Amino acid sequence: MLQYSEKVIKQFRDMTNNGRIENADGVGKVGNPVCGDVMWIYIKVKDDIITDCKFETFGCVAAIATSSLATELVIGKSVEEALQVSNKRIVDLLGGLPVEKHHCSVLAEDGIKKAIEDYRSRVKK
């Protein structure tokens, strides 16, 4: 069994922002080629500020904890600032992850980026 930090377990246990946003302004759907997990990130944007963010994850403790924390980190940020949220930052804030689980945090970062990409492509139209 993998060793998780107390922070990871706490984030997993008390997870926030899980679920979907029905009329989201952007959706990022990412999949994990390593272990087959799936993560969908929804964002709501107003005046270039991310006002809400939720996630759905079919994945492990690390995937759930990192996606939950990622949503917390981007809410209230501008789209540009949200793009700066890196998986490294997420991992650091969680007090580290087992090496085998780093790819789960990459998924969280990618999910946010994909959601913003999706939002931008919609705005352009």
Partner 1 sequence: MAEIYYLDNNATTRTDPAVIEAMAPYFGEKYFNASSIYSSAQYVRKDIEAAREEAAKFINADPKEVIFTSGGTESDNFAIKGIAYANSDKGRHIITSKIEHPAVLETCRYLEKNGWEITYLNVDKYGMVSPDELKKAIRKDTVLISIMYANNEIGTIEPIEEIGAIAREAGIYFHTDAVQVAGKIPIDVKKLNVDMLSLAAHKFHGPKGIGLFYLKKGVRIHSISQGGHQERSKRSGTENVPAIIGMAKACEIAGEHLKDTAGMAEIKALRDALEKGLLEKIPDIIINGHPEKRIDNTLNVCVKHIEGEAMLIHLDFDGICVSSGSACASGSLEPSHVLLALGLPHEIAHGSIRFSFSKYNTAADVKKVLEVMPGIVEKLRKMSPMWNERDKK
| Two tokens, residue 66 | 């990192």
The CA distance from 22 to 78, in Å, is 21
Give which of 103, 17, 20, 27 is closest to 60, Cα–Cα.
Answer: 103
Q: How far is the CB of 61 from ligand FES (least distance, A)?
A: 7
Contact 66, 84 (CB under 8 A): no
Interacting residues with partner 1 (CB under 8 A): 1-2, 4, 9, 12-13, 15, 18-20, 29, 34-40, 55-64, 100, 104
Catalytic residue of the set 2, 34, 35, 123 = 35
Contact 82, 49 (CB under 8 A): no
35 catalytic? Reply is yes
Count the neighbouring beta carbons within 10 Å of the beta carbon of residue 124. 6
Q: Given strand 38-46, what is the order of strands in its sheet? A: 26-31, 38-46, 49-58
Interacting residues with ligand FES (CB under 6 A): 32, 35, 37, 59-60, 62-63, 101, 104
Beta carbon nearer to ligand FES, 63 or 90: 63
Beta carbon nearer to ligand FES, 52 or 98: 98
Q: How far is the CB of 5 from partner 1 (least distance, A)?
A: 13
Catalytic residue of the set 43, 75, 91, 104 = 104
60 catalytic? Reply is no
Q: How far is the CB of 74 from partner 1 (least distance, A)?
A: 18
